[in-house]
């Protein structure tokens, strides 16, 4: 057998493992990494909730724009439509249901769809603006559908933020 000298033994023992200091440093770095990961997860959860709210509101606003385009020859009846006031909003006062039953029904269904999102303080408004004279005159109208709500809060301490989605389209009569 081959015999090891004293210097060979001491060298191999010093390379044999971690010291206590190295182990503590590794634990500190691992802890910092886990704390950063936890913070990122919290931000990710908040952004996910925001995206979910935005998706719901955009879908409801888009549906209302499609309803208006379907009833485009009566687009002026949608002007100043508002779901913020109590009950059904101004759906029964701004549009007499016997005069324009489709627009009145759209307003009531829109109000129900907004409330079904279960978002705090949700309200919708519609503005219809006649476009200026064109050559040839096209009788186009600019329709603006706006939905506002209070964004979800992460904790009881966090203040809710006002959020808004606005969709605009140009509607031409048939």
| Each residue's pLDDT tens digit, 88-140 | 567 766 666 667 888 888 888 888 899 898 888 899 999 999 887 766 667 88
Q: In which band, very low, low, confident or very high, does the pLDDT at 155 lie, cut at 50, 70 and 90?
A: low
CB atoms within 10 A of CB 104: 20
Q: Any idea what DSSP says for residue 170?
A: E
**What is the arithmetic mean of pLDDT over 57-68?**
93
Is it the case that residue 8 has pLDDT exceeding 70? no
Confidence check: pLDDT of 154 > 60: no
The mean pLDDT of 47-65, rounded to a whole number, is: 90
pLDDT for residue 36 is more than 80: yes
Domain ranges of the chain: 53-171
Name the residue with higher pLDDT: 11 or 45.
Answer: 45
pLDDT at 92: 65
Per-residue pLDDT at 12: 53
Residue 13 pLDDT exceeds 60: no
Are the C-beta atoms of 126 and 68 separated by less than 8 Å? yes
C-beta separation of 169 from 143 below 8 A = yes
Instruction: Name the CA radius of gyration of the chain, rounded.
Output: 31
pLDDT(11) > 60: no
- What mean pLDDT value characterizes the chain? 81
**Rounded to an integer, what distance in angstroms lies between the CA atom of residue 40 and that of residue 108?**
41
pLDDT of residue 136: 65
Task: Provide the strand spans (E) within 11-161.
Answer: 81-82, 120-130, 141-150
**In the beta sheet, which residues pair with residue 144?**
127, 168
What is the arithmetic mean of pLDDT over 12-19?
Answer: 62
The larger pLDDT score, comparing residue 133 to residue 144, is at: 144
Q: What is the pLDDT of residue 5?
A: 59
Residue with tokens 């489709």: 102
Per the listing, tokens 């605009």 go with 168
Distances (CA, A) of 127 to 101, 104, 112, 169: 19, 15, 19, 11
Is the CB of residue 161 less than 8 Å from the CB of residue 148?
no
Structure tokens at 27: 């634990």
């Amino acid at each position: 057998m081959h015999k090891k000298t004293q210097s060979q033994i001491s060298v191999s023992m010093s390379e044999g493992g971690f010291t206590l200091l190295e182990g503590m440093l590794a634990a500190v770095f691992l802890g910092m990494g886990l704390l950063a990961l936890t913070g990122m997860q919290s931000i990710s959860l908040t952004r996910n909730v925001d995206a979910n709210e935005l998706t719901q509101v955009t879908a409801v606003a888009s549906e209302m724009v499609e309803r208006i385009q379907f009833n485009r020859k009566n687009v002026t009846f949608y002007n100043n439509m508002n779901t913020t006031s109590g009950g059904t909003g101004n759906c029964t006062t701004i549009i007499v249901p016997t005069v324009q039953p489709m627009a009145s029904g759209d307003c009531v269904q829109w109000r129900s769809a907004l409330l079904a999102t279960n978002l705090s303080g949700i309200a919708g408004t519609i503005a219809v603006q006649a476009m200026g004279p064109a050559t040839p005159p096209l009788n186009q109208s600019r329709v603006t559908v706006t939905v506002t709500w209070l964004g979800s809060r992460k904790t009881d301490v966090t203040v809710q933020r006002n959020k808004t989605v606005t969709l605009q389209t140009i509607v031409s009569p048939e």
